[in-house]
Amino acid sequence: MDYLNINKDAWDKRAKLHVDSKFYDVEAFKAGKSSLNIVELEQVGNVTGKSLLHLQCHFGQDTMSLARQGARVTGVDLSTEAIEQANKLKSALGLQATFIAKDIYQFGQESTEKFDIVFTSYGVLCWLPDLDKWARTIASSLVTGGEFHLVEFHTFNDLLSGYSYFPQSEPDIEDEGTYTENCDGTKSTMVTWAHSLSEVITALISAGLTIEHFKEYPYSPYKCFEGLEYIPELGYQMLHKGQQVPLLYAIKARK
């Protein structure tokens, strides 16, 4: 199964809709608003003068927010449409950034460049079949002493929505629309893989990285799942039998 082309096609369609969505709010971004949330801002800290690789950067708002904070940024994404939109936005705003349309595994095999920071966030791991390969891509892209930052949706939420928590031999293949409010009902086939927390952590350790920080959160900045309620100043939460469900986690690791 050609999962890369199937997912590329889906993300090309999504990227076209996303640039016009309130969810991504490009107008606010153009006016100077950072697209980054407090979780990653606090974790990544000062990026001034640092070289930064953003894996699965979508159409680049987070990448360019990091550029506005002083980082020298490179964003990689499978979707040619997302990278085209990122380059348009970059030119319109006169920002410095390099965007590369490529599968991250292929990027890892071909690139010889080393970065001070590798960053990736929110809805990235489920598109990748092999987390050992993902972690080796991160390790080979970092300078010695360089930092890796991941902020990801918690797979516990997927479990409560009926998906597997533990990895399975076969991926989930489903027809879906998108999570932005301007979803036009068009569905695309998508191929995804479940990844447990232990799988993520073990992959990073096996690639030679040292985990320095791991935190789970009961609030998400994004309303992109069913059953979330907004709690002012904290974000969206989900209750299961009256108890908060973990919605995000963040990992910092060092090479």
User: What Å distances lie between residue 124 and 64, 65, 90, 205, 215, CA to CA?
Assistant: 18, 18, 22, 19, 17
Question: Minimal distance in Å, beta carbon 232 to ligand SAM?
Answer: 23
HSE toward the beta carbon, residue 1, CA cutoff 13 A: 12
Q: What is the DSSP string of 144-203?
A: EEEEEEEEEE-HHHHHHTT--SS--SS-EEEEE--SSTT--S--EEEEE----HHHHHHH
User: What Å distances lie between residue 165 and 24, 154, 156, 189, 199, CA to CA?
Assistant: 28, 10, 7, 21, 11
Nearer to ligand SAM, 21 or 51 (CB): 21
Q: Binding to ligand SAM by residue 191, rule CB under 6 A?
A: no
Question: Minimal distance in Å, beta carbon 166 to ligand SAM?
Answer: 21
217: enclosing H helix or E strand = strand 210-217
Query: Pattern of binders to ligand SAM over 7-26, x per CB under 6 A?
Result: x---x---------------
- Identify whether the C-beta of residue 79 lies closer than 8 Å to the C-beta of residue 101: yes
Q: Binding to ligand SAM by residue 124, rule CB under 6 A?
A: yes
Among 43, 56, 111, 137, binds ligand SAM (CB under 6 A): 56
The pair of three-digit structure tokens given for residue 26, joined into one six-digit string: 């490009």
Chain position whose Cβ is nearest to ligand SAM: 123
Q: Binding to ligand SAM by residue 129, rule CB under 6 A?
A: no
Q: How many helices and strands, by DSSP H and E, does the chain display?
A: 9, 13
Question: Minimal distance in Å, beta carbon 11 to ligand SAM?
Answer: 3
Site for ligand SAM in 93-122 (CB under 6 A): 103-104, 121-122
Question: Minimal distance in Å, beta carbon 243 to ligand SAM?
Answer: 27
Q: Binding to ligand SAM by residue 79, rule CB under 6 A?
A: yes
Nearer to ligand SAM, 62 or 158 (CB): 62
User: Rounded to an integer, what distance in angstroms lies between the CA atom of residue 44 and that of residue 71?
Assistant: 11
Q: Binding to ligand SAM by residue 74, rule CB under 6 A?
A: no
Instruction: State the residues that interact with ligand SAM by CB under 6 A.
Output: 7, 11, 56, 58, 61-62, 77-79, 82, 103-104, 121-124, 127
